[in-house]
Amino acid sequence: MFEPLLWIIRRDLTIAMRRRSDIFTTLIFFVIVVSLFPLGIGPELETLRLIAPGIVWVGALLASMLALEQIFSADHRDGTLEQMLLTPQPVSILVIGKVLAHWLVTGLPLVVMAPLLGLQYDLSAAGLGALMVSLLLGTPALSLIGAIGAALTLGLRSGGVLLALLVLPLYIPVLIFGAGAVEATVSGLGGASHLSMLAAILVASLVLAPLATSAALRVAED
């Protein structure tokens, strides 16, 4: 069962490595969005420290949402996806593999980059740690939930904007617990409960989201 999973991850990573600019686009978008807020709000570190968790999280959320369209679109266009659906392996495995590869390419760089942005907002060391852990747990959940939207809007005219409309409301719990974990850590309350909730959301979406995604893919390729 794990062989096709590894095969798909390896294949998608190889393709992504041949088009490295896609990875950087997401990352640069994240950096730019997060850097815009001080320009709009003002450079007072007091204020910035207060809003840092929310802003970094919203930035990561938007960046990972922008990257969603790429999960299935290329394979859909050249017909590979249709062939993949015809294979005897369960579609959920295919979905998990593709989402995991996609997260490694677009989500993981955000996690690595986030502490640097947190420094710009003068987050404490504990806050930076909580930010990284919360993003590490949260961004895979975002990719898994977002994959449902990506599969539903596959090949539609206004796919990008529509995808945002479908997926953003579903992202709210992840945002609440992700930003909440950082905030609770900074204020000294301890973010363990938030992180546990994030982990629970990740596990639940790992089980449920691939089912919905594969159903949506079957509809799209019908």
Partner 1 sequence: MASRLVNWFKFSSPATFYPLARKIAVVSTIIAVVLIAIGLYMSFFVAPTDYKQGEGYRIIFVHVPASWMSMFIYVVMAGWAALGLIFNTRLSAMMAQSLAPTGAMFAFLSLWTGSFWGKPMWGTWWVWDARITSELILLFLYLGYMALRSAIDDPRRGDRASAILLLVGVVNIPIIYYSVQWWNTLHQGSTIKFNEESSMDDTMLITMLIMTFGFWAYSIAVSMVRVRAVILERERSSSWVREQLGAET
Q: Minimum distance from CB of 158 to partner 1 (Å)? A: 6
Residue closer to partner 1, measured from CB, 28 or 219: 219
Residue closer to partner 1, measured from CB, 4 or 54: 54
Q: Minimum distance from CB of 97 to partner 1 (Å)? A: 21
Give percent helix, percent strand, percent coil of the chain, each to the nearest 5: 85, 0, 15
Q: Minimum distance from CB of 177 to partner 1 (Å)? A: 7
Residue closer to partner 1, measured from CB, 96 or 184: 184
Which tokens is 76 given?
Answer: 């859909």
Q: Minimum distance from CB of 81 to partner 1 (Å)? A: 15
Residue closer to partner 1, measured from CB, 46 or 222: 222
Q: Contact residues for partner 1 (CB under 8 A)?
A: 148, 152-153, 156-158, 162, 165-166, 168-170, 172-173, 176-177, 180, 184, 197, 201, 208, 212, 215-216, 219-220, 222
Residue closer to partner 1, measured from CB, 31 or 184: 184
Q: Minimum distance from CB of 135 to partner 1 (Å)? A: 17
The Cβ-side half-sphere exposure at 26, using a 13 Å CA radius, reads 29
Cβ–Cβ under 8 Å, residues 171 and 123:
no
